[in-house]
Structure 1
Amino acid sequence: MPTAIIADDERLMRDLLRTRLSQAWPELQIVGEAKNGDEAVQLVGELRPDLTFLDIRMPGKTGMDAAREIGDASQVVFVTAYDEYAVEAFERGAVDYVLKPPEPERLRITVERLKERLKERSGTAEGAAPGAGAPAAVNMSDTVSAMLTQLAEKIAAPKPKYLQWIQASIGQDLRMIPVEDILFFRSDEKYTCVQTDKLEALIRKPVRDLAEELDPSLFWQIHRATLVNVNAIEGVTRDIRGRHLVLIKGRPDKLEVSRSFLHLFKQM
């Protein structure tokens, strides 16, 4: 059966990827996990996995650095949140990728690609001349090496200042929700509700903390207990008591605006 290791500095992301891979590819054996690029390189040398899932951005040795050291010893699959430029580059190169957070439908496409790659490698190995040895899992050609160099330069900047996704509970399940999909956050005394167009989830982080961690150009605090995605705002109305209420596109929710935040809507 095919084998793989997962390298990511976030334990939750490793757990999520392991779970999603087991669903999309039950035959795949995850034989090891690493928290950084150095551990990933060490594990590849010890375990010789068919596949290595590498987070691009890790402390110490990055996924890019680790990929160069791993070379042809294992087929590299990058795990990335930087789809705005990475996808096009990966589509052109001999390297596969998984977008964070790994969604089941998109992951199935990657799994099919990887199965084909491993099948091609296996077929080439069987047809090799006696004593020739198995071919490289991935030929890190000059084109791919150049691609890695360009991507490394683009992501050399510090980590994004603001949260890119939210870890939230839905029943017994844990979900990774991209922040751009969230319509609003609304807190009570104990939990904060995370509302998207498709689901409602709960987190323990209060709105006051979220307000400091989210991009203020994307999320406006309109009440001490409410943050709203500006792209989800349909308009503002008043009720019979004179309160200002934010209307949410495609939903019946009406979110109260505190007086101290009314200035946000003067230009609307």
Structure 2
Amino acid sequence: MESETSPEHLRQELAQLRLELEVLQREKLDLEIMVENITEHADAIEVELRARNQDVQELNERLALANKELEQLASVDGLTGIANRRRFDMTLEREWKRLSRDQKPFSLILGDIDYFKRYNDTYGHQAGDECLQKVCQACHACAKRASDLAARYGGEEIAIILPDTDSIGAMYIAQDVRRQIRQLNIKHDASPIGNLISMSLGVATIIPHNQLRPNVLINQADMALYRAKQNGRNRIVLFHKSL
């Protein structure tokens, strides 16, 4: 019987080892190919993921821009291009709270185009719209600071919010509004107080505090505007308690 350590036995064992080595090498090669495929696939996935992330970022930027534009549209009067009543209310509330904390004066101007219905009846609604647009833009030009706001309050009525502005400063702005409107030189032959478009203005100033609501300032400016109309229109009245 041949010994387990005979040359023949060793040759057989060597042949077996070589066979196992070939199998292992083939398996190793298969694994390397698999890893290479996986790596290429992973690289492709990473490239695709980066592209998707860029698409998502671009979409988010477009969405943010669209939301901003939508918000601006929601706060702008479609006819005149100045702030609408919604933005007026929001700004008034915000500035009221801020000035309540700072204890600084808050002024408001309410203006009404004199005999505007007669203007529409005489020249037509298209001419009335064009007139209103010009008057509103003139008021907007007078609200020079970033915190000032000219808004279409309703119909032919315009409001100008003037934070951190005393009555002297507010009266100066109101006079500038009348001057700007006069310089528009818009004919109004149906007006009983002259042949040009004019505006009556009510001005009110208050130092806000937490025990008051912003409508107090609105009511005061409205009372002053009413008195300006009573006194013959085309004038400015500053609110005081005797009104």
Q: Check whether TM > 0.5.
A: no
More strand by share: 1
Q: TM-score, normalised by structure 2?
A: 0.24
More helix by share: 2
Larger Rg: 2
Q: TM-score, normalised by structure 1?
A: 0.22
Which structure is higher in RCO with an 8 Å CA cutoff and minimum separation 6? 2
